[in-house]
Amino acid sequence: MIVSFQPLQLDAIALLSAATGVDFSGTEFSNENEWLCCTVRNPGGGIALIVVFEFKTWFDAHVSTVMVDKRSLSRQLLTVLVRMVFARADRITALIDPNNKVALAQVWRMGFRYEGYIRRGIEGQRDAVLFGLLPEDCPYLGGKPFRYRVSAVTHPPQPGVH
């Protein structure tokens, strides 16, 4: 696998847009103050993984990912990515479509915590489950053991139920 931390190429932008349902086609990924990009390609040049962090504020980075090949997301790469992000931000935010079961399971394994449900939270069109990761919760920092617990909280609470 070939890992690049350069701005996304056109094929990666197209795949990220198609997979997330967010139009990234006009995004300027070369601005290092706003974006941290990682593309993993297989030896043939095909995309195996895309991870982008958008620094929305001085303390918050929003993450978007596309995983084509599970083998591309190694513990070593995750450690490098979270260290790079937490050197610049105090939290990582993930907004996930409530129907994306693979992504929901992945954020739990990575130590993210459920923080809420946002109606029309993705592009003002689709609902989103909100997750956050703080450095003290991250299993990839400080030599903490990697442990996870899958919670039943993946959907919004029902009206009238608390």
Say if pTM beats, i.e. exceeds, 0.85: no
Count up the domains in the chain and report the number: 1
Residue 8 lies in a domain: yes
Residue 123 lies in a domain: yes
In contact, 78 and 57? CB cutoff 8 Å: no
- pLDDT, one tens digit per residue, over 126-147 is 999 999 999 998 888 875 433 3
- Residue 87, domain extent: 2-137
**pLDDT band, very low/low/confident/very high, at 58 (cuts 50, 70, 90):** very high
- pLDDT, one tens digit per residue, over 86-127 is 999 999 999 999 999 988 988 988 889 999 999 998 888 899
The amino acid that residue 34 corresponds to is E
- pLDDT, one tens digit per residue, over 66-86 is 999 988 988 899 999 999 999
Q: Domain containing 14 — which CATH number?
A: 3.40.630.30
